[in-house]
A and B are shown apart, each in its own frame.
Chain A
């Protein structure tokens, strides 16, 4: 079949051509339109956008929420990834199912469920009053805390799985060897485990942060219109305000941000991989 192998490359053409025309060229067109004014290339749209204090509040909201969501996912996801790697039998099946099943359920379903959970009479409020943390029921829905909880719930698997994929490769005897050589538990954590898991942590952070920066349905349902992020503002300017100039600018900012996160994380992951 050797004569076929030079021709086999042509099999890639339909898929690549399709994505170039339907996906890549439109994205480039979006970028091009955001930097063209009536007379050729102009950055006026961006200048106006970045001169407006409102824009900076929106960018601040986006970054703060994405940062908090990523932090919560990292703090919860890191130990869970280890538990998943150590678990056996039924425990492992339960953990895996609890991580994979929510991934296949749509974000509208989950965001709607959190609307129910975070209400004043929802289960979180009932639970916190029940154990005495709160003296009276409170509403978490339409607050930043509620948004962070809901978003962290939706994105947690994207933190656990990349970390798990490196943790499962670590030889548990490494830690024992460290202990035998008299290295203390904290030094073992910081000198052995953290460096080895760093590539997974970096890609987990990149996944969750970029998902949280561009989430649209979750803030729409859990915090409402008073609180705007880059993604909700982009959606609103196209769907409600019919302000496509503003929408293309925020869409471009989001796109650049997403590409930067991907590039930065692959660079960092490569470096982390080299050091360990």
Chain B
């Protein structure tokens, strides 16, 4: 190895180290602020305390927004898992033209600006007279969660050997049994990881949700941004720390199921 190569290598590791610090800064800062007792975000905090967590219990509007977010994220993920999996099976096994185009179409909401998708759906819902916030949110979030399911389940299905289903049939399973005992277990990890990341994407969505909230129905990110604008204090950091914990749990489960390297596949 020449001297210039050694310098390039060293530089690469230094940049990688700095990037790790840079990437984790917002998460570490949020958690640190949430456990500090300073109301003005002093870092490092003068003293550690749980006062912002104690405040969560009587923060106005927080729990209803969490409940709305969990309902919307859970239901929309479930609907996407069912519709997305059926569609993925059709794309992998079917013999009709335009299957690639359909796959691209189902993943495309991820590539377009969320704000524009939100506005378009807002106008569309108005046109058919749908003004109810909760239903609108649910319908919009199915579009948000669909790409995550389709992408992951498609990848898993293309690796699945469909002759195994025929084998199960020959060994005496009914078609339904064959699907339940062979296909579903094989796709299990894909369902779980795509479901988790779809759930998180829905929980975190702001630019689409903002068009479908009213005074009574708000999702968590909308409610949080309202707190940031009204009275920024570390209570927001405490809520954020909870969301970061959720992300850590999802990442650990994802790692156990398919491995971190697989999660990094793009």
Instruction: Give Cα A247 to B115, complex, Å.
Output: 11
Residues of B within 8 A of A220 (CB): 225
Instruction: Give Cα A31 to B27, complex, Å.
Output: 39
Q: Which single member of A6, A101, A105, A107 contacts B95 (CB below 8 Å)?
A: A6
Residues of B within 8 A of A268 (CB): none
The 0/1 profile, CB within 8 Å of B marked 1, for residues 86-122 of chain A is 1100000111111111101111111011111101011
Residues of A within 8 A of B261 (CB): 96
Instruction: Give Cα A51 to B219, complex, Å.
Output: 38
On whether the beta carbons of A14 and B86 are closer than 8 Å, the reply is yes
On whether the beta carbons of A19 and B143 are closer than 8 Å, the reply is yes
On whether the beta carbons of A79 and B15 are closer than 8 Å, the reply is yes
Instruction: Give Cα A238 to B93, complex, Å.
Output: 43
On whether the beta carbons of A112 and B240 are closer than 8 Å, the reply is yes
On whether the beta carbons of B106 and A16 are closer than 8 Å, the reply is yes
On whether the beta carbons of A216 and B207 are closer than 8 Å, the reply is yes
Query: Given A1-B166, A216-B206, A234-B115: A102 and B24 within 8 A (CB)?
Result: yes
Residues of B within 8 A of A15 (CB): 83-84, 86-87, 106, 146, 150
The 0/1 profile, CB within 8 Å of B marked 1, for residues 33-51 of chain A is 1000000000000000000
Q: Does A71 touch B at the CB level, under 8 Å?
A: no
Residues of B within 8 A of A160 (CB): 19
On whether the beta carbons of A113 and B27 are closer than 8 Å, the reply is yes
On whether the beta carbons of B27 and A79 are closer than 8 Å, the reply is no
Instruction: Give Cα A212 to B204, complex, Å.
Output: 17
**CB closest chain-A residue, reference B250:** A104
Instruction: Give Cα A93 to B260, complex, Å.
Output: 8
On whether the beta carbons of A19 and B94 are closer than 8 Å, the reply is no
Residues of B within 8 A of A113 (CB): 25-27, 29-30, 237, 240
On whether the beta carbons of A8 and B93 are closer than 8 Å, the reply is yes
Q: Does B121 touch A at the CB level, under 8 Å?
A: yes
On whether the beta carbons of A11 and B207 are closer than 8 Å, the reply is no
On whether the beta carbons of B26 and A258 are closer than 8 Å, the reply is no
Minimum Cβ distance to chain A for residue B75 (Å) = 14
User: Which of B1-9, B52-60, B181-189 lies at the binding interface?
Assistant: B1-9
**CB closest chain-B residue, reference A113:** B26
User: Which of A52-60, A131-139, A161-169 lies at the binding interface?
Assistant: A161-169
Query: Given A16-B102, A29-B120, A80-B16: A107 and B23 within 8 A (CB)?
Result: no
B interface bracket (residues with beta carbon within 8 Å of A): 35 or more
Q: Which single member of A9, A77, A185, A251 contacts B115 (CB below 8 Å)?
A: A251
Minimum Cβ distance to chain A for residue B230 (Å) = 13
On whether the beta carbons of B84 and A254 are closer than 8 Å, the reply is no
Q: Which single member of B13, B15, B89 contacts A11 (CB below 8 Å)?
A: B89
Residues of B within 8 A of A234 (CB): 115-116, 119
Minimum Cβ distance to chain A for residue B103 (Å) = 10
On whether the beta carbons of B204 and A107 are closer than 8 Å, the reply is yes
Instruction: Give Cα A123 to B45, complex, Å.
Output: 12
**CB closest chain-A residue, reference B24:** A98
Q: Which single member of A86, A104, A108, A122 contacts B225 (CB below 8 Å)?
A: A108
Q: Does A190 touch B at the CB level, under 8 Å?
A: no
Query: Given A94-B20, A221-B228: A27 and B117 within 8 A (CB)?
Result: yes
On whether the beta carbons of A22 and B143 are closer than 8 Å, the reply is yes
Residues of B within 8 A of A210 (CB): 111, 113
On whether the beta carbons of A83 and B12 are closer than 8 Å, the reply is yes
On whether the beta carbons of A101 and B41 are closer than 8 Å, the reply is no
Residues of A within 8 A of B254 (CB): 100
Q: Does A248 touch B at the CB level, under 8 Å?
A: yes
**A1-25 CB contacts (< 8 Å) to partner B:** 1, 5-6, 8-12, 14-16, 18-19, 22-25
Q: Which single member of A8, A18, A76, A247 contacts B19 (CB below 8 Å)?
A: A76
Sample of 7 further A-B pairs with CB below 8 A, known A8-B94, A99-B23? A10-B90, A11-B94, A76-B18, A84-B264, A100-B254, A221-B228, A262-B111
7 closest Cβ pairs, A-B complex: A106-B204, A26-B124, A214-B113, A113-B26, A83-B16, A12-B90, A9-B94
Interface residues of A (CB under 8 A from B): 1, 5-6, 8-12, 14-16, 18-19, 22-27, 29-30, 33, 76-77, 79-80, 82-84, 86-87, 93-102, 104-110, 112-117, 119, 121-123, 126, 153, 156-157, 160-162, 164-165, 179, 185, 203, 210, 213-214, 216-217, 220-221, 231, 234-235, 238-239, 247-248, 251, 254-255, 258-259, 262
Interface residues of B (CB under 8 A from A): 2, 4-5, 8, 11-13, 15-16, 18-20, 22-27, 29-30, 33, 40-43, 83-84, 86-87, 89-91, 93-96, 102, 105-106, 109, 111-117, 119-125, 127, 139-140, 142-143, 146, 150, 165-166, 169, 175, 197, 200, 203-204, 206-207, 210-211, 221, 224-225, 228, 232, 236-237, 240, 243-244, 247-248, 250-251, 254, 260-261, 263-266
